[in-house]
């Protein structure tokens, strides 16, 4: 038979049958240290669990397969993974990132800029002319996020890669909201892809982890490995095992979340209390055509709306839902809602009236009814 698809290999964690017991579920290996024989030789080739123990190696192998990567590494959080990449930028090196992206990553880069560690230029996501203008011969790293949080702007990864490589820079893509069941940035020309594995990859809101995957095991990847080992920002064995368990259902979860999110986006377009709907699966979305070529397995469960009535109406809307849970994060089986501006703070460019939704696995009809009643409550003043 032909080689199994990525989906089948993911479901079986790459057919990881335990050699000792025959268990079809990979075991968890919590040991931090490993014994040697009477000749002081390692019994199993492993001496210590930092940077990677057997459980972490198993999960990293599945993730590398999913991303089409030469190698992958697990981190204790998405931010730890981002910090590891930023740490490889030489002192005073030039970094280009986005005005709209995960605000924690942007704050980290701005902090490095204030300390004189890097120079930083921010450009609007998807604006290739601005990206070209910002890229210089001394640009070391271009950091993109697509879809970009929270308007879900789309970046053309292949063209961004061309721009980065023209000046000798590394293109890193935060693909947290477009996991490898739908987008594989490395195959589009990116050099490094980052996932906050806390989100879609795990999918159950019970693991904190991050992932870096690389197109080539090059000098930068080796340096990331040094940072990885020396800082010790590695996940626990049990958290890694939970991530591996969650990965098995990634494809079916993401497909269902994408289907429901598209239904919700189309319905909200018709709601008189909604001023705008941001979702890359809508034909009206500015990045829809590019998204359709890059996100081949669905447009995801993330969408945002601007609620008529401003800040107060948006706050009332988020507080009035009964099924959507008012909480930060995304990609889990439960649906979440968040009035974004208070989360990011006064200096954020996010509009006052923007509310972000993470669509889970509940009934689409129930979710639609909940949003409808909450919008009615928000405007019944």
Catalytic residues: 50, 102, 174, 199
Distance CA 148, CA 164 (A): 18
Strands (E), 279-342: 302-307, 325-326, 336-339
Identify whether the C-beta of residue 204 lies closer than 8 Å to the C-beta of residue 332.
yes
Sign of CA dihedral 272, 278, 281, 287: positive
The two three-digit tokens of residue 124, written as one number: 């609007």
Distance CA 76, CA 125 (A): 27
Residues in the chain: 381
Place of tokens 């669990």: 49
Phi and psi of 339, rounded to 5°? -80, 110
Under DSSP, the state recorded for 187 is G
- Give the sheet arrangement for strand 93-98, strand by strand: 71-75, 210-214, 192-196, 170-174, 139-145, 93-98, 118-123
Distance CA 147, CA 154 (A): 5
Distance CA 243, CA 198 (A): 8
Distance CA 372, CA 279 (A): 18
Nearest CA to 212 out of 89, 97, 71 is that of 71
Distance CA 179, CA 210 (A): 12
For the chain, give the longest Cα–Cα distance: 79
Distance CA 59, CA 66 (A): 11
């Amino acid at each position: 038979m032909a080689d199994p698809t990525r989906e089948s290999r993911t479901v079986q964690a790459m057919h990881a049958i335990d050699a000792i017991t025959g268990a079809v579920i990979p075991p968890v290996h919590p040991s931090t240290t490993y014994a040697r024989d009477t000749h002081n030789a390692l019994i199993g080739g492993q001496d210590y669990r930092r940077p990677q123990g057997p459980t972490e190696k198993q999960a990293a192998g599945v993730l590398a397969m999913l991303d089409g990567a030469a190698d992958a590494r697990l981190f204790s959080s998405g931010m730890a993974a981002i910090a590891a990449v930023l740490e490889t930028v030489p002192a005073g090196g030039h970094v280009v990132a986005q005005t709209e992206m995960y605000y924690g990553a942007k704050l980290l880069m701005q902090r490095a800029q204030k300390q004189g560690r890097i120079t930083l230029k921010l450009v609007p996501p998807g604006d290739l002319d601005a990206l070209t203008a910002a890229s210089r011969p001394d640009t070391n790293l271009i950091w993109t996020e697509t879809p970009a949080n929270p308007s879900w702007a789309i970046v053309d990864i292949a063209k961004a890669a061309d721009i980065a490589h023209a000046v000798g820079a590394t293109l890193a893509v935060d693909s947290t909201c477009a996991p490898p069941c739908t987008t594989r940035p490395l195959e589009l020309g990116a050099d490094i892809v980052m996932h906050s594995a806390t989100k879609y990859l795990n999918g159950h809101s019970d693991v904190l982890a991050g992932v870096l995957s690389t197109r080539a095991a090059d000098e930068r990847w080796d340096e990331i490995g040094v940072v990885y080992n020396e800082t010790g920002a590695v996940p626990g064995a049990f958290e890694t095992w939970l991530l591996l368990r969650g990965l098995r259902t990634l494809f079916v979860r993401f497909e269902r979340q994408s289907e429901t999110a598209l239904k919700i986006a189309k319905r909200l377009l018709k709601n008189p209390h909604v001023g705008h709907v941001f979702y890359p699966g809508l034909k009206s979305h500015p990045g829809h055509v590019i998204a359709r070529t890059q996100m081949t397995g669905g447009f995801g469960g993330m969408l945002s709306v601007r609620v008529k009535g401003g800040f107060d109406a948006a706050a009332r809307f988020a507080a009035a839902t009964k099924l959507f849970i008012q909480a930060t994060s995304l990609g889990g089986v439960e649906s979440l809602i968040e009035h974004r501006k208070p989360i990011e703070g006064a200096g954020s460019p996010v509009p006052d009236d923007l509310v972000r939704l993470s669509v889970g696995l509940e009934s689409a009809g129930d979710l639609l009814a909940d949003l409808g009643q909450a919008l009615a409550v928000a405007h019944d003043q």
